[in-house]
Structure 1
Amino acid sequence: MPQLSFRPALPDDAPSCIRIRGQTRENAFSEEELRALGITAATWSAGIRDGSCPGYVACMDGRMIGYCFGDRDTGEIVVLALLPGHEGRGIGKTLLGLVVQDFRRRGFERLFLACASDPGVRSHGFYRHLGWAPTGTQDEAGDDILELVIAA
């Protein structure tokens, strides 16, 4: 039976995060596309190390299969990514919940994220089903900004 585990992200996880980001079913970004945005294994690792980008990873038999990270200063959920073969098992929901709990402990009362505005994209229904509500605003890419009000 495969062993699923969750843990806080470590700086050495960054290269695997980059690799997984390019393999997601929807909204994949290649290493080159991430680099063009200023995101490299080195910058991601530094954000984990200095605590500015806390996150959690999911591992199956010790191999990373997904992750979720947030921005410590703003309360934004920056990314949730999961390898396609592990979707539909509650792993993404658990990862997101771990980051929400972490940010609640940090004193946040409201979190936000950008999500596809197209109802045909899986993330559109995923976040809304979990209680994230549209703010009525969009980011520069046209994605809806959703928020989650949490008790401190």
Structure 2
Amino acid sequence: MTLRLASVDDVETLFDIRCSVTENHQSRDELAGLGITVESVGEMVASGDYVTTIAEIGGQPVGFSMAQISEGYVFACFVRPGCHGQGVGGALMAAAEEGLQRAGVKEAWLSTGEEEHFRAPGFYRHLGWVDSGHLEDGQIRFTKRLSW
């Protein structure tokens, strides 16, 4: 597996991966309804305020993470369903955390659903993230201290 920083040219790949997941699945139309479009994500990647990393296996993109520096927020971490259990998600989360830490973020946060079939909460706990309550939309808020 190799990791690389994403560029604006990778935005379609990010959407392909995001829309391929079975847990927390959202279509492009659903994402657009939330304001998450190819254009908006392209602007995010180009802004310099996001650390966006793509994981590849055999030259094929299999996952990505995206973290917003100014907010200390891990916006996304998604892995293609056929690539679970290979360390891709952990490597992508480590890349997001390291990028935020290098930028001076001391504590990061993320949010995820807590539906019974979602594995994400357990995954984040396994990586040292701490459940710090719920957001207004019902999502679990996790935090992690990156530096002291």
Please state how far the C-alpha of 1:79 moved relative to its aligned partner.
Answer: 0.6
Structure 1 equivalent of residue 146 of structure 2: 150
- Distance in 2, matches of 1:70 and 1:90, equals 19
Q: How many residues align?
A: 148
Report what 1:134 is aligned to. 131
Q: What TM-score do you get using the length of structure 1 for normalisation?
A: 0.91
Shift of 1:119: 5.2
Secondary structure of 1:54's counterpart equals strand
Aligned mates of 2:100, 2:120 — CA distance in 1: 21
Letter of the structure 1 residue corresponding to residue 66 of structure 2: F
CA contact (8 A) 2:24 2:118 kept: no
Q: Secondary structure at the match of 1:24?
A: coil
Identity of aligned residues (%): 28
Q: Secondary structure at the match of 2:96?
A: helix
CA RMSD for the aligned pairs? 1.3
Amino acid at match of 1:149: R
Runs of 4+ in structure 1 off by over 6 angstroms are none
Partner of 1:10: 7
Q: Unpaired runs of 5+ in structure 1?
A: none
* Letter aligned with residue 111 of structure 1: A
Alpha-carbon separation, structure 2, partners of 1:70 and 1:147: 13
Unpaired runs of at least 5, structure 2 = none
CA contact (8 A) 1:118 1:124 kept: no
Alpha-carbon displacement from aligned partner over 1:75-132 (angstroms, at most 9, x marks no partner): 1101100100000111100001011001101001100000223454200100001110
Q: 2:84 aligns with which of 81, 87, 91?
A: 87
